[in-house]
Chains A and B, each alone.
Chain A
Amino acid sequence: MAASAAEATPAPEAGGRNHGLWIFLIWLPTAVLADVLLYFVYGPHMPPGTMSDSAASQQFDIKVMSVLAAPVMIFVLVYAIYSFTVWRHREGDEEDGPALYGHARIQATWITATAVIVLFLAGFGSYELAWPGFAGAGAGEGPSPVWKPAHGTPIQVQVIGQQWRFTYRYPQFGGFESPDLYLPVGVPVQFNVTSLDVIHDFWAYQLGVKADANPGVNNVAYTTPKNVGAFTVRCDELCGLWHGAMTNQGQVVSVAAFQAWAQKTETQLASITALLPPYATVYDPTVVPNINKAMAKAGIAGANGYYYPPNDPVQP
């Protein structure tokens, strides 16, 4: 919008200087410089990084939007600062300004330019969301996702939110439930996010995955980790007293290490898995206290189905 608005400024008065041209000349190099810095210098370090394809898609979107937003903001600022220096009221000048009620060409240009930018952004965002390479950009897509990874069988991980802890079930490994989150690198992951009590939100920051954990709802999100390393999981929806402490670390490891870990844990936890309700996409929260009792009978404490009664917070 900026360029067009400057170009459409009214012709200068005789003898006056061409304010529109001045504003344009200040704006153009500033905007170009800002865009270059944003895209090439700061761009590769923009959050949330590039640890997975969905994180990369978010980083790319943020980068593109920054590059579009900066010139617009700089135009408004340059114009405003220019006005405040050039057109400020001088002492003793009691005349009013010119009676300028509008300018058809400028108004039309502004409206067209903003509309073009906005429609481009909407199209761009939709394309990014639907493009198979990004597979829904890591956002929760509900029980029947429309945008899935193009190829590869995803590893399924069920994320179970409860006050105030996340646990993970691995249905392809006998459905064991663990407080640890391990993922293989380079393989698509399908998170099935659900909750046992209130609404939580599974946010794996570096992986660029965010999906609400709703009770009774299976919310699916996809990602493909690209690098080995640790990532942070936080609850991103206020869920009660210890919402701020509902966090843990996940690990992206090599495929072999993941297989080894999963098979070892499956055997280790077999006796506990037998006590759990069979793997399902959602669980009836009323059975949770019963699980808790079963756990206590088996002498097991910890995160595996442990249930904090409301109003009785246990410091994690």
Chain B
Amino acid sequence: MAIETQPERAQGSGGGSPARGDGARPWWRRPAIHTAVLGAIVGYVLGHLLGNFLTGATGAANQYPNVALSDSEDWPIVLGYLLAVVGWFAGLGVFNDVFRQMLGKPANGNGNGHEASGLARYFRYSLDHKVVGIQYLVGMIIYFCTAGLFAMAIRTELLSPVNHVFTSQVYVEIVGEHGTMMMMLMTSVIVGPFGNYLVPIMVGSKRVAFPRIEALSFWITPMAFLILLSGLLLGGFPFGWTGYAPLSIQSTVGADAYAMAFGLMGISMILAGFNIIVTVICYRAPGMRWSRLPMFVWAMFTTSFLFVLAAPVLVAGMYMLLMDRTAQTAFFEDTLGGSSYLYQNVFWFFGHPEVYILALPGFGIVSEIIPVFCRKPLFAYRVAGAGMIGVGILSFFVWQHHLFDSGINPDMRPLYMLTTELISIPTGFIYLVALGTFWKAKIRFTVPMLFAIGMYFNFLIGGVSGVFLSDVPADTTEHGSFFVMSHFHYTIMGGLIFALMGGIYYWLPKMTGIKLNSRLGKWHFWLMFIGFNSTFLPLFAVGMAGQPRRVFEYATNLTGLNDWVSISSYVLGFSILLFVINFVWSTVIVRERETGNPWRSRGLEWQIASPPPPGNFDQVPVVLSGPYDYGVKDAQPVADLHPPVGVVTAALAPYSSAGAEA
């Protein structure tokens, strides 16, 4: 194990002396978000002009009349976005250290070395994993709320089947923005904030493996978000979040925003995944055996593997889509040797693992919360870990169930039916673990626990409805209807987002040293739980009654159900507003301190001060026991935070066959 006993010198808040050089500059000349915005604008203008020049000078786009539906306007947009991203990174100072080291100068932490504290570091390319975690948290809440507003707009339109709030053009734009923003940005909603912040602390490390890659993975997300939103200015894209090929090639320039943003987010996922995998493998403290790894770390670890294995396929798909739209290639053009099935396969080969990217982190959080508030060890720890790994592996073998009615490989449908249904075995493990932990427990209904229980309730419905969808004959009715829509909202919104909320209430005292108001928290939970179920449970019936997804007109006999759903969705929206109010009120205005271990948790992250000091631990700790040993008489402490001199060094000595397992 490669354990660094000292934080990397360039890691700003890791102690060490302030870096030289950039610290002397006035604030507006230091790389931060304002220089990044400037860089992005300059980059976009340059790219746009370059695109105009290329299409004007060569007319490349007009030489292939068979792909007549694409047009040359795509060039300036795509090149503009591309250079805007490069300009954004340059403005942030991403390349500073790279070039400094190429020129033989020492790295200086991208001019961040002196920012040990203060609000400004959250607007910089910070190499401190705790800063990145907070950046992710705030960013994800903003993205989630933006996409949530689009959902409110969708439900407003669906209040009436005949009277329209929006034109069909605006409506499909909203549907596309909501779906894409949720599905692409929410992949990192837990891995980003909690994975980056907590995994190093939970494995007893002073740092992450690749701080620059980690920071880059975050700073891609605002750009992906803005590019996706800018699609609205370009006329939007009329194909939802899936972007099925002939339609997405036919669409106007708004589709470039979709492909660019989704592709960028894929790169962000790959980067975030690599960092966490290497951190978990290489940076565990002595004594942190695989069998002592907290379940949340297992979840982050398996999710990261899905990131690095699935996201490249997405990036490839988006790249091919952009090439089809600009360079007039024909990857997805049936008449020219391509295939629209290719896009569907590529997309879902990423898309189905992605569904588990959106489920596993939630399992991790609830598995972490439940033992603490049951005051019992996690039941069947190894089964829980096996469940996560099993879900992760099987998720790569099911993607064709999205194509059951498409006519491709019809005789292979029983196979995909089998693999899809097999996934419910490892998923069921998560319930075995929860029910076993409840047995003779001392259950405390704190706000995090309520959200964890809510997650189990919602995911039960989401999971069982998924089994209905895996059955080909039943799926023939349900495919593409509101049933599917409701199913994945139950797993993602009801599973992942409920777990996220539980995680925020549970870990925010850890991350900020500030407690969220628990009375408001309970209001938030009950409104969200009732609003959520009241919104999505009737949608199963709506789908079964024959309403396809993404329609703006529907059968008039479904008006009553749709109105009920719309009104419930406003309650759901209000509960999220309540959360935002609670978040801002508690962290900005009241600021009630909570520096100890309020939940009496045995997790390693709770054994240090809140918020954790720079560098997390004074010394690399030696882990002595598992994180869930509640109710054990004379239980050992979780870790020795100040191990005697020499212990860590001995543990780090080269492995010899005689050496004990560290």
Known A62-B474, A125-B473, A210-B480; contact A103-B436, beta-carbon cutoff 8 A: yes
- Residue B476 interfacial (CB < 8 Å): yes
| Chain A minimum-CB-distance residue to B481 | A236
Q: Is B408 an interface residue (CB 8 A)?
A: yes
Which B residues are CB-close (under 8 A) to A96?
375-376, 442, 630-631
User: What residues of B have a CB within 8 angstroms of the CB of A242 in the complex?
Assistant: 168
Indicate whether A122 sits within 8 Å of B417 (C-beta atoms), given known contacts A57-B473, A243-B551. Answer: yes
A50 interface residue (CB < 8 Å to B) = no
Q: Is the CB of B407 within 8 A of A115?
A: no
Q: Which of B142-197 contact A (CB under 8 A)?
A: 168-169, 171-172, 175
Bound form: Cα–Cα A137–B456 in Å: 33
- Could you tell me the distance between the alpha carbons of A198 and B172 in the complex, rounded to whole angstroms? 16
Task: Select one of A87, A126, A284 contacting B443, CB under 8 A.
Answer: A87
Closest to B545 in A: A47
Write out the residue numbers on chain B whose beta carbons fall within 8 Å of the beta carbon of A83: 435, 438-439, 441, 443
Whether B404 sits at the interface, judged by CB under 8 Å, is yes
Closest to B246 in A: A198
Judging by beta carbons under 8 Å apart, are B413 and A129 in contact?
yes
Q: At the interface, yes or no: A201 with Cβ under 8 Å from chain B? A: yes
Whether a CB of chain B sits under 8 angstroms from the CB of A146 is yes
One of A65, A106, A134, A147 near B471 (C-beta < 8 A):
A65
Q: Could you say which residues of chain A place their CB within 8 Å of the CB of B340?
A: 199, 214-216
> Contact string, B535-569, partner A, CB cutoff 8 A, digits 1/0?
00000000011101111111100000000000000
Chain B residues, CB < 8 A from A134: 473
Tell me which residues from 454 to 513 in chain B have a Cβ below 8 Å from any Cβ of chain A. Answer: 456-457, 460-461, 464, 467-468, 470-477, 479-481
If A89-B443, A97-B442, A98-B631 touch, whether A214 touches B406 (CB-CB below 8 Å) is: yes
Complex CA–CA separation, A127 to B233 (angstroms): 51
A233-250 at interface with B (beta carbon < 8 Å):
234-245
Q: Using C-beta atoms within 8 Å of the partner chain, give the interface range for chain B.
A: 35 or more
Q: Is B428 an interface residue (CB 8 A)?
A: yes
**A139 touching B404 by the CB < 8 A rule?**
yes
**Residue-wise interface mask of B (417-456) relative to A, using a CB-CB cutoff of 8 A (1 in contact, 0 not):** 1100110110011011001101111111100000001001
**Other-chain residue from B251, B405, B553 in contact with A139 (beta carbon distance below 8 A):** B405
B410, A136: Cβ atoms closer than 8 Å = yes
Given A125-B414, A208-B476, A238-B240: A199 and B425 interface contact (C-beta under 8 Å)? no
Chain A residues with CB under 8 A of B472 = 125, 128-129, 137, 139
Which residues of B have CB within 8 Å of A61? Answer: 471, 473-474
A95–chain B nearest beta-carbon distance, Å: 7
Distance A95 CA – B376 CA, assembled complex (angstroms): 10
Which residues of the partner chain A approach B456 to less than 8 Å between Cβ atoms?
76, 80
CA of A210 to CA of B381 in the docked complex: distance in angstroms?
Answer: 43
**Interfacial residues of chain A within 186-237, with CB under 8 A of chain B in the complex:** 193, 197-199, 201, 203, 205, 208-212, 214-220, 232, 234-237
A199–B343 Cα gap in the complex (Å)? 12
For the complex, what is the distance from the CA of A46 to the CA of B239, rounded to whole Å? 31
B472's closest neighbor in chain A, by CB?
Answer: A129
Whether A205 contacts B335 in the complex (CB less than 8 A), given A65-B471, A111-B425, A198-B247, comes out as no
Chain A contacts with B in 170-194, Cβ cutoff 8 A: 193
Tell me how far the C-beta of A68 lies from the nearest C-beta in chain B, rounded to whole angstroms: 8
Chain A residues near B431 (CB-CB < 8 A)? 76
Q: Is A286 an interface residue (CB 8 A)?
A: yes
- B632 located at the interface, meaning its Cβ lies under 8 Å from any Cβ of chain A in the complex: yes
Q: How far is the CB of B202 from chain A (nearest CB, A)?
A: 20
Given contacts A125-B473, A199-B247, A210-B477, is CB(A97)–CB(B414) below 8 Å? no
On whether the beta carbons of B440 and A87 are closer than 8 Å, the reply is yes
Q: How many residues of A contact B (CB 8 A)?
A: 103
Instruction: Please state if A143 and B379 are interface contacts (CB–CB under 8 Å).
Output: no
Determine if A84 is an interface residue (Cβ-Cβ < 8 Å): yes
| Distance of A235 Cα from B425 Cα, bound (Å) | 34
- Beta-carbon contact of A143 and B471 below 8 Å: no
Query: Does A79 sit at the interface, judged by CB under 8 A?
Result: yes
Q: Is the CB of A153 closer than 8 A to any CB of chain B?
A: no
Assess whether B428 is in contact with A110, with CB atoms less than 8 Å apart. Answer: yes
Does B530 interact with chain A (Cβ within 8 Å)? no
Q: Verify B238–A125 contact, CB threshold 8 A.
A: no
Interface centre among B379, B414, B453, B476 (most CB of A within 10 A): B476
C-alpha spacing A1/B461, complex, angstroms? 17
* A53-112 CB contacts (< 8 Å) to partner B: 54-55, 57-58, 60-62, 65, 69, 72-73, 76-77, 79-80, 83-84, 87-90, 93, 95-103, 106-107, 110-111
Q: Is the CB of A212 within 8 A of B548?
A: no
Report the Cα distance A72→B466, complex, angstroms: 14
- Bound complex: CA of A46 vs CA of B554, how far in Å? 20
Is A43 an interface residue, CB under 8 A from the partner?
Answer: no
Q: For B629, what are the chain A residues with a Cβ–Cβ distance below 8 Å?
A: 99
Chain A residues whose C-beta falls within 8 Å of the C-beta of B422 in the assembled complex: 118, 122
| CB of A44 closer than 8 Å to a CB of B | no
> In the complex, which of the residues B428, B442, B444, B477 contacts A47, with contact meaning CB atoms closer than 8 Å?
B477
Is B323 an interface residue when CB atoms closer than 8 A count as contact? no
Interchain CB contact under 8 A, B252 and A89:
no
Known contacts: A110-B432, A238-B239. The answer to whether A197 contacts B473 by CB under 8 A is no
Q: Which residues of A contact B636 (CB under 8 A)?
A: none
The reply to whether the CB of A152 lies closer than 8 angstroms to some CB of chain B is no
Decide: A76 near B172, CB < 8 A? Known: A96-B376, A96-B631, A121-B471.
Answer: no
Given contacts A58-B474, A96-B631, contact A197 B379 (CB under 8 A): no
Which of A111, A205, A241 meets B169, CB within 8 Å? Answer: A241
B551 and A102 contacting across the interface, CB-CB below 8 Å: no
A244: nearest chain-B partner, CB-CB: B551
- What separation, in Å, do the CA atoms of A1 and B548 have in the docked complex? 34
B250 at the interface (CB under 8 A from A): yes
Nearest B residue (CB) for A114? B428
Q: Which residues of B contact A286 (CB under 8 A)?
A: 66, 335
Q: At the interface, yes or no: A145 with Cβ under 8 Å from chain B?
A: yes
- Known contacts: A88-B445, A129-B472, A240-B247. The answer to whether A141 contacts B407 by CB under 8 A is yes
Contact of B374 among A5, A97, A243 (CB under 8 A): A97
Per-position binary interface string of chain A over residues 128-170, scored 1 when its CB falls under 8 Å from any chain B CB and 0 otherwise? 1110001011111111011100000000000000000000000
Pair B250/A197 contact, Cβ less than 8 Å: yes
Please indicate the chain B residues that have their CB under 8 angstroms from the CB of A62 in the complex: 468, 474, 477
Option from A55, A79, A118, A217 in Cβ contact (under 8 Å) with B425: A118
Closest to A134 in B: B473
List A contacts of B375 (CB < 8 A): 89, 95-97
Q: Bound complex: CA of A303 vs CA of B464, how far in Å?
A: 42
Taking the closest CB of chain B, its distance from the CB of A210, in whole angstroms, is 5
How far is B470's CA from A288's CA once the two chains are assembled, in angstroms?
Answer: 37
B411 within 8 A of A: yes
B273 partner residues in chain A, CB cutoff 8 A: none
How far apart are the CA atoms of A231 and B440 in the complex, in Å?
A: 54
Cβ of B592 under 8 Å from chain A? no
Q: Is the CB of B341 within 8 A of A214?
A: yes
Whether A244 contacts B553 in the complex (CB less than 8 A), given A89-B444, A96-B631, comes out as yes
Kindly state the separation between the CA atoms of A55 and B477 in the bound complex, as whole angstroms. 8
Least CB distance from A107 to B in Å reads 5
What 13 additional pairs, Cβ within 8 angstroms, besides A58-B474, A87-B440? A47-B546, A69-B467, A99-B632, A103-B436, A114-B424, A118-B421, A129-B414, A198-B246, A214-B340, A214-B406, A217-B334, A219-B406, A240-B239
11 example contacts (A-B, Cβ-Cβ < 8 A) are as follows A72-B464, A77-B460, A89-B445, A97-B441, A114-B428, A128-B471, A199-B245, A211-B407, A234-B551, A238-B242, A311-B252
A-to-B contact residues, CB < 8 Å: 1, 5, 19, 46-48, 54-55, 57-58, 60-62, 65, 69, 72-73, 76-77, 79-80, 83-84, 87-90, 93, 95-103, 106-107, 110-111, 114-115, 118-119, 121-122, 124-126, 128-130, 134, 136-143, 145-147, 193, 197-199, 201, 203, 205, 208-212, 214-220, 232, 234-245, 284-286, 310-311, 313
What are the 8 A-B residue pairs with the smallest beta carbon separation, nearest first? A244-B551, A219-B407, A96-B631, A137-B473, A142-B407, A216-B334, A97-B376, A126-B414
